């Protein structure tokens, strides 16, 4: 259904996950913004890898989901405003931190909505992951005189490669897929290493750094082996930044190594919405100024009724895949 039509008829289209790996798209009454809220007619929503665990149907997951549930990377136009909202109006194009954005419309608290400038007109803008990249980059404290290893060149790793390179750091990109390493080179990586053999990677980084290892290492995979590798690549008094999404079970760490080298270990995830919004604002500035260009990283687009294919593609990561968007126009 055309989204403009659905607004006029008082209906929204929303994806509902009915069972592991299964969706339906249903029409529901338009949600009405309460005090301090706005309603957004969404242009699109990014597909996040964090969706894959609930998509697989673990024991704790309940089906069916709420309409639009799991979508949290939306952007679009405000089409209704609740009482007490200042600084936002109908027609504003915005990025939002909302939580039911696999739908044509979603509600958001006004403080979690950021206007997009004209410089970003018609550009997709999944604010949450772009803001996440800015927050991780800030907490990494990367500088121009540093050697930075980034392990895992997905969407986040590619953004961090671009940011670090723009600030003058020397980036060593390490990733499993040949396509990802091609992206890393395009984003400015000075060196690219296939993520194949643990000890060969260590020896190659030793060679590239004259045995000094790396000032900063960003782990952006979310699995045990890359976390182990990240510690091995971090120099004494270096900073190990955990950006991977480690939510599938406990991890073990080599505390002997961490302790001996005196590593600063940063868990770079945020949960405070204000910090997310800070990152989104920084991402808007970075994209508008040209320091960050994510457009080539949006490799796959799907309509809402193909959300299942978008999630499966995000899980399977075929050649040429980096980031999927669900779009509504």
**Per residue in 199-254, pLDDT tens?**
999 999 999 999 999 999 999 999 999 999 999 999 999 999 999 999 888 999 99
* DSSP secondary structure code for residue 29 in this structure: E
Which is nearest to 233 in space by CA: 149, 146, 119, 127?
149
pLDDT of 8: 62
For helices 127-140 and 273-289, the axis angle rounded to 10 degrees is 90
Helical ranges in 198-266 per DSSP H = 198-208, 224-233, 255-261
For helices 155-166 and 127-140, the axis angle rounded to 10 degrees is 50
| Domains 11-124+298-327 and 130-267 fall in the same CATH topology | yes
pLDDT of 19: 97
Q: What is the mean pLDDT of residues 285-298?
A: 96
pLDDT of 147: 98
The SS3 call for residue 237 is strand
Which is nearest to 115 in space by CA: 81, 143, 76, 148?
76
Which is nearest to 246 in space by CA: 217, 222, 220?
222
Name the pLDDT band for 7 (thresholds 50, 70, 90): low
Q: What is the mean pLDDT of residues 23-41?
A: 97
CATH topology of domain 130-267: Quinone Oxidoreductase; Chain A, domain 1 (3.90.180)
**Strand extents, DSSP E, 93-145:** 93-96, 105-109, 113-115
Supply the mean pLDDT for the chain: 95
pLDDT of 9: 63
Residue 2 has pLDDT above 80, yes or no: no
Which is nearest to 304 in space by CA: 105, 139, 141?
105
322, 183 in Cβ contact below 8 A? yes
* DSSP secondary structure code for residue 229 in this structure: H
**Per residue in 189-205, pLDDT tens?**
999 999 999 999 999 99
Instruction: Name the token pair of 72.
Output: 């949290």
Structural domain boundaries of the chain? 11-124+298-327, 130-267
Q: What is the mean pLDDT of residues 104-132?
A: 97
Residue 281 has pLDDT above 50, yes or no: yes
CATH no. for 11-124+298-327: 3.90.180.10
């Amino acid at each position: 259904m055309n989204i403009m039509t659905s607004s006029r008829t008082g209906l929204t289209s929303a994806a509902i996950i009915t069972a592991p790996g299964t969706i339906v798209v249903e029409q529901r009454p338009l949600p009405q913004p309460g005090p301090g809220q706005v309603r957004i007619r969404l242009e699109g929503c990014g597909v996040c890898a964090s969706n894959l665990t609930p998509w697989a149907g673990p024991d704790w997951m309940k089906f069916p989901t709420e309409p639009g549930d799991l979508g949290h990377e939306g952007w679009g136009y405000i089409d209704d405003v609740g009482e007490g909202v200042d600084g936002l109006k109908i027609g504003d194009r915005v990025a939002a931190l909302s939580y039911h954005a696999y739908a044509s419309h979603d509600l958001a608290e006004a403080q979690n909505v950021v206007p997009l400038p004209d410089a970003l007109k018609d550009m997709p803008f999944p604010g949450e992951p772009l803001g996440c990249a800015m927050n991780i980059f800030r907490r990494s404290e990367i500088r121009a005189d540093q050697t930075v290893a980034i392990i895992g060149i997905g969407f986040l790793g590619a953004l961090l490669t671009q940011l670090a390179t723009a600030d003058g750091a020397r980036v060593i990109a390490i990733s499993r897929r040949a396509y990802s390493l091609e992206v890393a080179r395009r984003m400015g990586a000075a060196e690219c290493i296939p993520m194949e053999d643990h000890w060969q990677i260590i020896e190659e980084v030793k060679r590239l750094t004259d045995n000094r290892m790396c000032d900063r290492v960003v782990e952006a995979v979310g699995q045990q082996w890359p976390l182990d590798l990240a510690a091995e690549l971090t120099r004494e008094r270096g900073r190990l930044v955990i950006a991977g999404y480690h939510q599938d079970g406990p991890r073990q760490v080599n505390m002997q190594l961490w302790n001996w080298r005196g590593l600063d270990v940063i868990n770079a995830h945020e949960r405070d919405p204000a910090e997310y919004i800070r990152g989104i604002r920084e991402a808007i500035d970075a994209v508008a100024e040209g320091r960050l260009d994510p457009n080539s990283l949006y490799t796959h687009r799907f309509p809402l009724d193909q959300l299942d294919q978008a999630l499966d593609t995000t899980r399977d990561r075929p050649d040429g895949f980096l980031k999927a968007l669900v779009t509504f126009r």
